Amino acid sequence: MRPTPQFARILLIEDEQDMARYLSKGLEEAGYLVTHADQAPEGLALALAGPWAAIIVDRMLPHEQEGLEIVHAVREAQLQTPVLILSALASLDDRVRGLQNGGDDYLTKPFAMAELLARLEALIRRTQTARTVSADSRELKLADLTLDLLSRKAERAGQPITLQPREFKLLEYLVRHQGHVVTRTMLLESVWDFHFDPGTNVIDVQISRLRNKIDKGHPIALLHTVRGVGYRCGLDG
C-alpha cells in the first residue's frame, strides 16, 4: 500500500521554470505541499530552515552553482532530511559523486513523474521508519563504541564522532553484523542501494574515512579488512 504523502512538505530547488512547474504540479497532485526556490542561496537558506519531509534539488543551478553544495551544507548541519538529486548528468561517476556528497537518491533527466514519486515515497518512508525506532532498541554497541539510532550520533570511549549520514549508515550496518564478514556486494546493496558494481573505489574511500574516525587514537581497532573478501567489525582482527 502506498504511503499517504498528504501535507508532507517538499522543498524543490530547480531553476528551469518549465521543469519547476511540471514538478510542482505533479507533487501537489500527489498530495504534497511544495515550496520552490530557483536560486542556490535561497534554496540553501530554506533547506537549513526546514523541517522538510524531503528535498529535491537540481545539480546545475544558475551562476555556475552546484546543487551538491547545498546537499553538502545540509549534511554538514547534521540534518537527516532525505535528498533526491535531479540531473541531466547521467554518467556513473556523476551519480556516485551525488551520493557521496550526501544525496539519498539520484534521478537523471528526462524522467517519468511516476518514478520520481515512487522514489520520493520510498525515501520518506525509510526516514519515517528510522524515526520510529523504539527506545528499547535505539542503541547499538560494540566494545566502547555506541551508536544512537534515533539521533544518528556515534561516540567511542565517551567521545563524540562526527559522521556523515552515509558514514553512519555504513557503520550501523557493520556493527549490526559485528563478528561477521560483510562483502562489497552486501555493502553496495544495503548501504548504497546499488544492485550492480559501479566499478569505483567508493567503498574503499568510505571505509578508510570511517576507520580514521572510529579507530585512530584508540589502542584496539574495531574495523578490519578481510583481504579478498570484505570487512568485519569486531574486537579481534
Q: Which of 150, 152, 146, 153 is nearest to 133 (CA)?
A: 150
pLDDT given for residue 124 in this prediction: 86
Same domain flag for 124 and 140: no
Are 155 and 80 contained in the same domain?
Answer: no
| 148 and 197 together in one domain | yes
Query: Tens of pLDDT along 67-121?
Result: 898 998 998 888 889 999 999 888 888 888 888 888 999 999 899 999 999 999 8
Give CA–CA dist 236/232, Å, rounded: 9
Q: In this predicted model, which residue has the larger pLDDT, 200 or 135?
A: 200
Percent of all residues in the chain with a pLDDT value above 90, rounded to a whole number: 47
- Model pLDDT, residue 84: 94
Residue 174 clears pLDDT 90, i.e. is over it = yes
Looking at residue 1, its pLDDT comes to 36
The tens digit of pLDDT for each residue in 175-219 reads 988 888 899 888 988 888 877 677 778 899 999 999 999 999 999
Range of 195's domain? 135-233
pTM higher than 0.85 for the full model? Answer: no
Backbone angles phi, psi at 39, to 5 degrees: -130, 145
Same domain, 92 and 146: no
Q: What is the pLDDT of residue 97?
A: 86
127 plus 24 within the same structural domain:
yes
Instruction: Tell me whether residue 3 is in a domain.
Output: no
Q: Which residues contact 68 (CB under 8 A, 6 or more apart)?
A: 59, 85, 97, 98, 101, 102, 103
